[in-house]
Amino acid sequence: GAGVSQSPRYKVAKRGQDVALRCDPISGHVSLFWYQQALGQGPEFLTYFQNEAQLDKSGLPSDRFFAERPEGSVSTLKIQRTQQEDSAVYLCATEGRNTEAFFGQGTRLTVV
């Protein structure tokens, strides 16, 4: 597609519920990143894929967070047993040829 697409745009989850956030990257972009942006803060790195390989997951805050990109295109970020501190905007980005990152509009997750 023309840009990075994320769905849903907004998600309200009850505490303890599992959620899945989807990222459709720009076609042909090899690198894909997930970031978490808390209110009033800058994005913080969660994890990085090169094609289907997850090369860095050092930013995932706990083992409740899991990301996959099985065919090297669409990626899903899953959060199990959501907690209130998981409330944030989750951003997906892909990297173009000149190392410029292209961001999706994000998914705003609110855990109640």
Residue ranges that bind other proteins, judged by CB under 8 A: 4, 31, 33, 35, 40-45, 48, 56, 91, 93, 95, 99-101, 103-106
Residue 90 near residue 9, CB atoms below 8 Å: no
Residue 91 near residue 23, CB atoms below 8 Å: no
In the complex, least distance from residue 42 CB atom to other proteins, rounded to whole angstroms: 3
Judge residue 73's burial from the number of C-beta atoms within 10 Å of its C-beta, 0-12 exposed, 13-18 middle, 19 or more buried.
middle
In the complex, least distance from residue 81 CB atom to other proteins, rounded to whole angstroms: 27
**Is 84 or 99 the residue whose CB approaches other proteins more closely?**
99
